[in-house]
Amino acid sequence: NVVDRKLFGANVSGRQIAGEILRLKTNIVTFRRAMLGHRTIIDRLVQYGGHDLNLPAYQRYVNELREFNSEIWNLLESQKESIYALDETNESLLNLRTNEVMRTLTVISVITLPPTLITTLFTIRASGTPFVDLYGGFWIILVVTLLVAAVLAYVFRRKGWL
């Protein structure tokens, strides 16, 4: 379908897709509103025009008008269902993208939280804080912090989260 390729092409942004879907929905609603008026006019013509107009002479034309109106209405109904299905698909794709971003941010925050906690604890200047007064204490704390981050990254990679 041309609409599908246009909406979900490789170089189309989420905003463009949403704008195009909104435009299509608006067009369908406008056409349906117009066709509903046509349907009402044709029905009233048949209902009230029988005594003023010679409808049997025009019955074939009236029937064709009703048939065309019905075909157009069915086409618009089909287009409405299609665009709503495309909208739901777009919504699902956006949710998947959002979930991927949230998962990535969560993994990053979980990997950085323990090292941050470790370094924060060692910045407390209290008596008896280990490694603070040792020669090379900075490097010991740095290695422990990086080791914790590496272990967490390894665990997340093994579980397929990273």
The pLDDT tens digits for 95-135 are 998 999 998 899 889 889 988 998 888 888 777 778 777 78
**Quick one: pLDDT at residue 49?**
66
How many percent of the chain have pLDDT more than 70?
Answer: 88
Mean predicted confidence (pLDDT) in 62-88: 88
The C-alpha atoms of residue 145 and residue 158 are separated, in whole angstroms, by 20
Rounded-to-integer distance, Cα 114 and Cα 108, Å: 11
Lowest-confidence pick of 35-39, 73-77, 113-117: 35-39
